[in-house]
Structure 1
Amino acid sequence: MKELKSDGDFGFAFNDSNFSDRILRIEITTIPFHTRIHSDPCSTISDSDTHRKRRREDAIINHNVVVEQIMNENETDIDDCVPCENQDEEIDAMVEETTSVMRVRTLHISSPILAAKSPFFYKLFSNGMRESQERHVTLTINSSEEAALMELLNFMYSNTLPNTSPPALLDVLMAADKFEVASCMRYCSRLLRNMPMTPDSALLYLHLPSSVLMADAVQPLTDAAKQYLASRYKDITKFQEEVMGLPLAGVEAILSSDDLQVPSEDAVYDFVLKWVRTQYPKVEERREVLGTRLARLIRFPYMTCRKLKKVLTCNDFEHEGASKLVLEALFFKAEAPHRQRILASESASLNRIFVERSYKYRPIKVVEFELPRQQCVVYLDLKWEECTNLFPSGRVYSQAFHLGGQGFFLSAHCNMDQQSSVHCFGLFLGMQERGSVSFAVDYEFAARSRPMEEFVSKYKGNYIFTGGKAVGYRNLFAIPWTSFMAEDSLYFINGILHLRAELTIKH
């Protein structure tokens, strides 16, 4: 049911018999109160409905949302209960418990005002039952809820809260969720969102009960909490010890970000395994958490093929699930670049598995051959913005690739041409540091060029590599940097520079 609009200030009518048509009787009991922050949210999204249903059932015993219409204060009729959640669901009848009523508070209330603010009260006052016409209405709550409920009722008249400290706002937010006062939930959420956030407060907001987390009114607050954690811990290597101690909700917020400062997606995968092994010693628990929560946040299509092979043999994953993830990643890698961009845009609003992060080492596509000679072809795409950021002396590195058992990488530079003394674009091929092995390699650099948009060879050479050595060409296109980056540049096609390196081991 949509919330009825009623934004007027009726604070003057609060608890005033002259402007009231009902008596609200609030029984303050000592029933154990468990509504505060849940430390273990639903394990999966699919569990949320079950969890919410369980919360409704627990509302009577644990959460103390015991609502009744009183015809006879000495009798409890199982038919006297009224709905307090969805329209098509009714809360179970009064649960007979041995409770201790500490005290009773009575308030004069206006049913139209409360009904206008809350579907809960709207249904309570208009359910068509004989009891709904009674003048007295009773709520049974725990003493821990008393202050929050009184502030909530006051808000429903005045649209404001006198106590805006974070703990008080959280308590009122919980009460507003229970009694379906969306305007108050938005109000509390907005105030909390505008306060300085800390790691503890952000995690607290992400661990609210599932019904609160899923409320539209609270989404801006939880989104802000996720954004705060993602921004604070975007360099997970810098805060590794702190991040390793974060709970699951915090790690999920960080891994959801496109702006992680990581060398590659391989590093994200390694971090996830390290964290889950630390937090969940039992392999069954790790498989559950990975399968339902964390695996969808690892962007497998941007992992190297070498690391993907390790996923298939990793005991922390269910084999069937791991195989599906790796197969999906390999199919993505095999797609043409324009198809990859389409898939990335389509997944941007879903799980973002095909969306590329801002990696320190740029992802590449590699095609390997063993016969007739050991050879590999490497494709590296750079965005126009990435090239712009290279000026005047920057460089960007590719992910590692392997040939003949040795690791190589490409690096693109903005450097000074030694002959013309102007800035220009350079491309280099380097061999990773690994022992003293050396061997000769033929290599060729090429780039797509307009108008044909075919790869055109730009430089050929050969080199005897040893660990840590690099070779290349300082001015790959034989033009100044300004011409290379100009709007009419021949080498940017839809804002992408397409580079290719072909390596062949000489025997």
Structure 2
Amino acid sequence: MDSGSESPESSSDFAFAYNDVNFSDRILRIEILPDSTGSKPDPDDSLADWARNRKRRRDDLLNNSDEVAMQSEEQILVCSMSDMEDGVTREDQEEEAVAMIEETPAALDMATHLLSGHEAAQGKETSSSMDYLAAQVKTIHISSPILAAKSPFFYKLFSNGMRESEQRHITLRIQASEETALMDLLNYMYSNTLPRTTPSALLDILMIADKFEVASCMRYCSRLLRKLPMTCESALLYLDLPSTILMPDTVQPLIDAAKQFLASRFKDISKFQEEVLNLPIAGLEAVLSSDDLQVASEDAVYDFAMKWARMHYPKLEERREILSTRLLRFIRFPCMTCRKLRKILGCSDIDPELSKKVVMDALFFKAEPQHRQRALIAEEANSSFCRFVERSYKYRPVKVVEIEIPCQQCVVYLDLKREECAHLFPSGRVYSQAFHLGGQGFFLSGHCNMDQQSSFHCFGLFLGMQEKGSVSFTVDYEFSARMKPTDEFASKYKGNYTFTGGKAVGYRNLFGVPWTAFIADDSPYFFNGMLHLRAELTIKK
């Protein structure tokens, strides 16, 4: 049996026994039925051609899915790349079969008579008998131990203890488009190599290896495909492999590589907006699942997902279904702003019960203390969906506490990762998400800049007001930082400032130390890899 751990390089090589009567105990008879017009692939097909041909073959098979499986005196296994196998039996025949000889329809007169007679007995007239008249037949000598060692399918076939397991002749019925791939698969089961390694050929072999449960060949095809240059076309094709794949672990590395390629290719959604909007849902899921997605905020990720859904699913019922079952699980609601969460509650595109759940979960997470948030993030570390992990946002998420009495006030918490701060050198900036006080939008920004004497680099923190005409706005502000989780926030600077559109105020050297001391491994300003900042804004009347 195929243990699932072998590699072609380490497996035994039985190429000498392939189709050799001296090393074979059975005869495999392959009935090759003609494909519908234009559905047989060319060996040099592009991946796009392969995909079109596969869809056409699949549609043809679905249209003929009501065809009755024939029975004769021989064991017949009907196998196609899009349908499950059907097995029927016949009495053993001891006649010699000539290896790899293509038989003419005339040589099939008796079999055709038996098959069509069976149809007549059923009182049915179908096109099946015509298919047999047009079929070609190949015979090949096979070794049941070799095939059984590679494939659970053949192992069960040869060892089930019933009459079928003692038959010397086995017949497989396939479509013409599957012939080359099947012969390549049989060759692989003896030699552990494949004669054709083009992408379309490997995909054909992968599909038929799945039907015969040859896991080692599926892994081999998957490995060869991963070594080929990845394109958007090929990545989307790998993600669209049929769900009938019986052994998904064998192709999972290929699917993961396809997802990683698309996530990296479209990391900056704003730069490739039109291309991403035209991706099929599997491609969009690969992009939205990435931690490295470069977007302004999680609000933007949500807006983009909604735009895609409205474009591809104009009907509300279908849109709700695709959002609830496929897309919303990739949105990290706890990283969204409270303003956007409030809008989600009134969004008609989402089922009301679902919108309430995701918003409540997000708000509960935001309300958790930081040690509890870290624990929740750690619990999700091995999960397929990371609801709490922040992406590479252009605007860093903040936690805001608003107070109305005795005066309008808000307390804003901003956490920056050490690596984020390190990347600011020598003149970078990082911005927070917007927050609001008295109906006016503000933001925090961390800078790497020169001190006032231009003698060394240092870390600065600034408070800015979103530009909105010539409005004038006066606030008291205070910047604080916390050095340890158990410490209170220690005040660094405070002041009073009257903002006008686009203005900002802050301190060039928040901690009064050079950049090298601020970012050093033993820096007292980071714990658990995070810099914890707080800004308190107050409007005094």
Q: How far, CA to CA, are the matches of 1:484 and 1:451 in structure 2?
A: 18
Per the alignment, do residues 189 and 60 of structure 1 end up closer, same or farther by CA in structure 2, a change over 3 Å counting?
closer
Asked whether 1:245 is paired with 2:278, we answer yes
Asked whether 1:8 is paired with 2:41, we answer no
Counterpart residue number, 1:332: 365
Deviation of residue 327 (structure 1)?
Answer: 0.6
Q: How far, CA to CA, are the matches of 1:139 and 1:468 in structure 2?
A: 75
**What CA deviation, in whole Å up to 9, does each residue of 1:415-459 have, x standing for no partner?**
111136221111000000112221210000000135962200000
TM-score (norm 2): 0.83
Counterpart residue number, 1:444: 478
TM-score (norm 1): 0.88
Asked whether 1:465 is paired with 2:502, we answer no
Per the alignment, do residues 97 and 28 of structure 1 end up closer, same or farther by CA in structure 2, a change over 3 Å counting?
farther
Counterpart residue number, 1:25: 29
Question: Counterparts of 1:398-437 in structure 2 under 5 Å?
Answer: 398-419=432-453, 421-437=455-471
| Secondary structure at 1:454 match in 2 | coil
Counterpart residue number, 1:54: none
Deviation of residue 488 (structure 1)?
Answer: 3.4
* Counterpart code for 1:307: K
Counterpart residue number, 1:208: 241
Deviation of residue 60 (structure 1)?
Answer: 7.5
Per the alignment, do residues 96 and 354 of structure 1 end up closer, same or farther by CA in structure 2, a change over 3 Å counting?
farther
Per the alignment, do residues 264 and 451 of structure 1 end up closer, same or farther by CA in structure 2, a change over 3 Å counting?
closer
Counterpart residue number, 1:171: 204
* Counterpart code for 2:194: L
| Secondary structure at 2:244 match in 1 | helix
Deviation of residue 97 (structure 1)?
Answer: 6.2
Q: How far, CA to CA, are the matches of 1:24 and 1:308 in structure 2?
A: 63
**What CA deviation, in whole Å up to 9, does each residue of 1:174-213 have, x standing for no partner?**
0000000001000100000100011001000100101338
CA contact (8 A) 2:396 2:432 kept: yes
Alignment equivalent of 1:133, drawn from 151, 156, 166: 166
* Counterpart code for 1:461: G
Asked whether 1:107 is paired with 2:111, we answer no
CA contact (8 A) 1:26 1:138 kept: yes
CA contact (8 A) 1:29 1:141 kept: yes
Q: How far, CA to CA, are the matches of 1:303 and 1:276 in structure 2?
A: 19
Q: For structure 1, which runs of at least 5 residues remain unmatched after alignment?
A: 40-56, 77-94
| Secondary structure at 1:329 match in 2 | helix
Q: How far, CA to CA, are the matches of 2:469 and 2:114 in structure 1?
A: 87
Deviation of residue 485 (structure 1)?
Answer: 2.2
Deviates more, 1:386-395 or 1:286-295: 386-395
CA contact (8 A) 1:25 1:138 kept: yes
| Secondary structure at 2:459 match in 1 | strand
| Secondary structure at 1:492 match in 2 | coil
**What CA deviation, in whole Å up to 9, does each residue of 1:222-248 have, x standing for no partner?**
000000000000111101111111100
| Secondary structure at 2:251 match in 1 | helix
Per the alignment, do residues 62 and 387 of structure 1 end up closer, same or farther by CA in structure 2, a change over 3 Å counting?
closer
CA contact (8 A) 1:424 1:474 kept: yes
Counterpart residue number, 1:481: 515
* Counterpart code for 2:167: E
| Secondary structure at 2:267 match in 1 | coil
Asked whether 1:256 is paired with 2:260, we answer no
Counterpart residue number, 1:152: 185
Q: How far, CA to CA, are the matches of 2:488 and 2:403 in structure 1?
A: 22
Question: Counterparts of 1:278-293 in structure 2 under 5 Å?
Answer: 278-293=311-326
Q: Structure 1 vs Structure 2: percent identity of aligned residues?
A: 69
| Secondary structure at 2:476 match in 1 | strand
CA contact (8 A) 1:443 1:503 kept: yes
CA contact (8 A) 2:213 2:247 kept: no
Deviates more, 1:342-351 or 1:192-201: 342-351
Deviates more, 1:242-251 or 1:451-460: 451-460
CA-based RMSD of the aligned residues comes to: 2.5
Per the alignment, do residues 213 and 270 of structure 1 end up closer, same or farther by CA in structure 2, a change over 3 Å counting?
farther
Q: How far, CA to CA, are the matches of 1:136 and 1:148 in structure 2?
A: 21
CA contact (8 A) 1:67 1:138 kept: no
Alignment equivalent of 2:305, drawn from 265, 272, 276: 272
Alignment equivalent of 1:311, drawn from 344, 358, 365: 344
Counterpart residue number, 1:82: none
Deviation of residue 96 (structure 1)?
Answer: 10
Structure (1 or 2) with the larger CA radius of gyration: 2
**What CA deviation, in whole Å up to 9, does each residue of 1:322-368 have, x standing for no partner?**
11111111111111122112211211221111111111111110001
* Counterpart code for 1:338: H
CA contact (8 A) 1:264 1:361 kept: yes
**What CA deviation, in whole Å up to 9, does each residue of 1:41-91 have, x standing for no partner?**
xxxxxxxxxxxxxxxx99789637444443276768xxxxxxxxxxxxxxx
| Secondary structure at 1:210 match in 2 | coil
Q: How far, CA to CA, are the matches of 1:319 and 1:137 in structure 2?
A: 58
Counterpart residue number, 1:367: 401
| Secondary structure at 2:489 match in 1 | strand
Deviates more, 1:97-106 or 1:235-244: 97-106
Question: Counterparts of 1:173-252 in structure 2 under 5 Å?
Answer: 173-212=206-245, 215-252=248-285
Per the alignment, do residues 125 and 452 of structure 1 end up closer, same or farther by CA in structure 2, a change over 3 Å counting?
closer
Q: How far, CA to CA, are the matches of 1:182 and 1:369 in structure 2?
A: 62
Counterpart residue number, 1:493: 527
Q: How far, CA to CA, are the matches of 1:96 and 1:459 in structure 2?
A: 91
CA contact (8 A) 1:26 1:140 kept: yes
CA contact (8 A) 2:81 2:208 kept: no
Per the alignment, do residues 96 and 333 of structure 1 end up closer, same or farther by CA in structure 2, a change over 3 Å counting?
farther
Q: For structure 2, which runs of at least 5 residues remain unmatched after alignment?
A: 42-49, 56-68, 70-77, 93-110, 116-123
* Counterpart code for 1:475: N
* Counterpart code for 1:500: R
